[in-house]
Amino acid sequence: MRAATMDLDLEVFQGPFDLLLTLVLKEEVDLLEVDLAEIVLAYIDHLERSGQLDLEATTEFLVLIAALLELKSRLMLPREDDDAALDWEPEEAAEELLARMLEYRRFRRAADFLAESLAGEEGFRYRNAPLPPELRKASLDVAEASYDAERLGRAIGGLLRVPPPLNLSHVARPHVTLEQRLLHLRGLLKSRGRFSFDDAVGDADRVTQAVTLFALLELYKAGEADWEQDAPFAPITIQGRTP
């Protein structure tokens, strides 16, 4: 039996324990008038009648009765904490009791979660000891190796061997500088005055095209050239600026 469902017969209250806690929190029952000793005796009588001890239910009862006992003692005997005296008002006592109950519930839920996780992994636990002989498909004494030890060693050795460095000598690397493309564009401006970007790069590789674009930006920044493009991805026309 959970402590919250335990029936009580006190001078100031009759009913289940959870209803008493609710009334105390709502300040409809004065905690100072509640005899906590009678609640403890009622729970002990129940344990003797049932003959069983539920550790979870008992733990819940101890947490609740301990919180009530501490709150009642603070209400009856205010004490000084550090610099100022702490006088518990009924509303503050109710908030403290609620905080204790919520804290207990949080740890109770965490314990239930761990228990469920442990139960869900029941069939996947690692065994250090070998299986019993009656559960083995074949005896270890008569079982033969399913692999070649030398072949396994060669395979592992191949994995540990450092591979040779990658040879990139066959890859052609284009070499073009920004100064070279600037001279090329200035030459076209001087000879033609107006030309397209495709004429400036021709069949050059992508690196040369990219460097040519940077060179065109440098010419625009220096005020030596302008360009036109009617639409995105349309041909680019370059022309020199008039001094």
Residue 126 pLDDT? 63
**pLDDT tens for residues 83-110?**
343 454 555 655 666 676 667 667 777 8
For residue 24, give every residue at least 6 positions away whose Cβ sits within 8 Å of its Cβ, in sequence order, or none: 31, 34, 68, 94, 97
Q: Which two tokens stand for residue 149?
A: 């030890």
Mean pLDDT of the chain: 77
Of 184, 236, 234, the residue nearest 212 (C-alpha): 184
CA dihedral 140, 143, 148, 153 (to 10 degrees): -10
| Class of the domain covering 178-240 | mainly alpha
**pLDDT tens for residues 42-82?**
888 877 877 777 777 777 778 777 877 877 777 776 555 53
* 171 vs 115, more confident: 115
For residue 140, give every residue at least 6 positions away whose Cβ sits within 8 Å of its Cβ, in sequence order, or none: 130
Q: Which two tokens stand for residue 104?
A: 């207990």
3-state SS string for 154-214: HHHHHHHCCCCCCCCCCCCCCCCCHHHHHHHHHHHHHHCCEEEHHHHHCCCCHHHHHHHHH
Tell me how crowded residue 187 is: count the other CB atoms within 10 A of its CB. Answer: 11
Domain positions in the chain are 3-121, 178-240
pTM score above 0.85: no
**pLDDT tens for residues 200-218?**
998 888 888 899 999 999 9
For residue 43, give every residue at least 6 positions away whose Cβ sits within 8 Å of its Cβ, in sequence order, or none: 3, 6, 61
